[in-house]
Amino acid sequence: MSKQLLAAIAFCAVLYPTALLAQQKQPGRITGKVFGESGPLIAAGVTVRQAADSVVVANALTSSDGGFRVDGLAYGKYTLRISYVGYKTRNIADITLTPAIPVLELGTLRMDLAMIARAPGAGSGAQAPRGVQQQQRL
């Protein structure tokens, strides 16, 4: 055999197992349910970040029952961020997945309503300041 053919075979023999390892599904999983004031929050955003450098590793949306499931996480430390319009963003730190605890069930997570500030006079029927014309309806 030629040296080029042997080199190609050796290269493939080294590369193939590495490619297989990269394609293997990671065993970690985080699950939970997100609830607001009146029940489950549908389509709340769930972001999983590496704790060390805040790199986003996964995103999910909650389902019709408020549930979410993030699969394929490697063992390690993470932070979880949940957001939904009209509610305060919730951050959960110190989530650790290990071979002993590859799946973490967070249970029901309650979101707090955000305080929405109104502009002075908004919605109170106040008159426009002097010198400002109000629109007239036709």
**Residue ranges of domains in the chain:** 26-110
8-22, 84-98, 115-129: range with lowest mean pLDDT: 8-22
The span from the CA of 75 to the CA of 97, in Å, is 5
CATH number of 26-110: 2.60.40.10
CA 120, 123, 127, 129 torsion-angle sign = positive
Q: What is the pLDDT of residue 28?
A: 96
For the chain, the average pLDDT equals: 82
pLDDT top residue among 3 and 79: 79
Task: Kindly report, residue by residue over 13-67, the tens digit of the pLDDT.
Answer: 554 554 444 445 789 999 999 999 999 999 999 999 999 999 999 999 999 999 9
Q: What is the pLDDT of residue 64?
A: 97
Q: Are 29 and 103 in contact (CB under 8 A)?
A: yes
Longest dimension (CA), the chain: 94
